[in-house]
Amino acid sequence: MGDRPPALLEAGRWRPEDADPPRPGGEADRAAADARDALARATTHLLALQSPEGWWKGDLETNVTMDAEDLLLRQFLGIRTEEQTKASAEWIRSQQREDGTWSTFHGGPPELSTTVEAYVALKLAGDDPNAPHMLAAARYVRSAGGIAAARVFTRIWLALFGWWPWERLPEMPPEIIFLPKWLPLNIYAFGCWARQTIVPLTIVSAHRPVRPAPFALTELHTDPDHPFPDRPLAPATTWDGLFERLDKVLHAYRRRALRPLRRHAIAQARRWIVERQEADGCWGGIQPPAVYSLIALHLEGYELEHPVMRAGLASFDRFTVHTEDGRRWLEACQSPVWDTCLATIALVDAGVPADHPALVSAVDWMLGEEIRKRGDWAVRRPSLDPGGWAFEFENDTYPDIDDTAEVVLALCRVAHPDPEKVGGAVDRGVLWNLGMQSKNGAWGAFDVDNTSTLPNKLPFCDFGEVVDPPSADVTAHVVEMLAEVGWAGDPRTKRGVEWLLRNQEADGSWFGRWGTNYIYGTGSVLPALVAAGVPDEHPAIRQAVRWLEDRQNGDGGWGEDMRSYDDPAHWAGRGESTASQTAWALMALLAAGEGPDGRANPAVERGVDWLVRTQLPEGTWDEPQFTGTGFPWDFSINYHLYRLVFPVTALGRYLGGRRTAGRESGAAPAIGAAR
């Protein structure tokens, strides 16, 4: 970042005490001074991370399946290089646990499919299967049921090289593309991430390609003489049993499918894929649709030099992170819009002037990222005008409700020199989000009423959540946005509030779909409820406060392990303290009236003290734990900027640094005429 504009560097001279006078009172005064110093360091560090174009983006870390599948894709296409292989293998080895396995998040338990894919990638890189780290991995795989027990998507990768028979995989007929939108299991019944993955996989499934395997994998089977065991069918009276029998019917159909119909289906699916390639060459801004789309198009005759293929492969270079020690790993996705709006909110909460050049620059960049064309969301909302933001640099097909809500919150906090331009974007974002409200009053992330449970029961849908039902965290962000622009009294906002109150957990928390987990959900909902006018004495808020107090760790911080998705009884709100989760808890408590300007709550003081004590000299925090979520339990994320933006927000609000011009003046964007 050595080429940052001088105006942005000026921010390092600003300190929070310029805006917030010290509080009198001895020990409390010293604690506040320590918090102000910590906030000053964090704010300066955050400002220094801004790009010259105005955006922020932290690394988005997931697990080694991204790196293993990248090598397998390159092997399949014949473009794998020794340099790429060596650097990726170094990274994969560095993530191996002491017992020889791999997990899907920091400190997590062994995970079979991840271990299988990592093992195959290392063998592809030339690791000796008799080496101790390889023997340990193979031993675990066999003990966990072998390749036969791995998820469907892992076995699809193996089938590409003949390590698993295509006949022993669930059938995915391309004719699904013809199912009308009103029928169950049409492609729009799936969440957008699953939809984009399934369509190209139907082409791959139709071709059933096999490239020569460079080696055998007999050591990963529990019984090498019978490596492909039949799985017993579930009872026919269950959904699982019904769909397993339907899969047998589809396998039989494959052998008798009308060739013209199949060719037409494949051609339709191929067009669907090409039409959804983004400007940066990726699909949906995420890894799974991109890799399967490239394989599908290659099978359909697209040469590697074809512009679609060239752009798709080049997109992976932008997703590649090179470490200083020569390792190479891939981001599953990139989050610049999300990171930028969160950073903007944090800086204003910290007391940075609303007209600061860094904030104006961020708004200019976000305005340029507004999506003004229709995407797949219009299938359910054909008459809704476009307006919103996606998560990534390029993903015009799938703006999302969560990003749009947070971007609007950020835009409303900045004093931009062109308020009319900002107001127009805010108007469109608010109205688009309102149009995306589900019939139960809540909001999902990408689609409306994407709530059918049938897609999750299909035999090939064992890779995580494949539908997009409303969630508490997304709904809370929309409610908070609506309150920010003066729509707290609108009936649609009230329906959102009512849904949140109905969906509070029995213990007082809220489930966090896109962050880990109950701390994230609760940290999202309480500020939204209070912003929407729910009094902080409301029983739901008091119960949530008690839950947060009960979950505070002995060191003063808060943390929650990813295992809370799988085992909430033992892990909900429990785990090692982290900076982001401590900040979420503090944001909730402060919104509920706890803290120096409300009820004096020792939990708040201890949480702030934890942030102050654990801050690194450069102003950020160390956070190897994963606190973000792609698919609950199945796909976890470590957003590297979370450890900074949320503590800045929490410390800023603790010190009274939040300054929102719209709320102070009672003004709101001029959207009343559109109601």
Catalytic residues, by residue number, are 402
Per the CB < 8 A criterion, the answer to whether 39 and 646 are in contact is no
Per the CB < 8 A criterion, the answer to whether 406 and 341 are in contact is yes
Provide the sign of the torsion angle of the four alpha carbons 627, 455, 297, 124, taken in this order. Answer: positive
Phi and psi at 638, nearest 5°, equal: -110, 100
Tokens of 73: 């894709």
Sheet holding 60-61, edge to edge: 60-61, 635-639, 628-631
Residue type, 176: I
Residue/partner pairs of 594-598 with CB below 8 Å, 24 or more apart: 594/545, 595/654, 596/23, 596/28, 596/32, 596/654, 596/656, 597/656, 598/536
Q: Using alpha carbons, select from 487, 494, 527 the residue that is nearest to residue 510.
A: 527
Q: Using alpha carbons, select from 571, 598, 573, 597 the residue that is nearest to residue 585.
A: 573
Per the CB < 8 A criterion, the answer to whether 445 and 402 are in contact is yes
Q: How far apart are CA 74 and CA 71, in angstroms?
A: 5
Provide the sign of the torsion angle of the four alpha carbons 286, 292, 295, 301, taken in this order. Answer: negative
Q: How far apart are CA 287 and CA 636, in angstroms?
A: 14
Per the CB < 8 A criterion, the answer to whether 500 and 479 are in contact is yes
List, in sequence order, the alpha helices (H) in 257-356: 259-275, 287-299, 307-318, 336-349
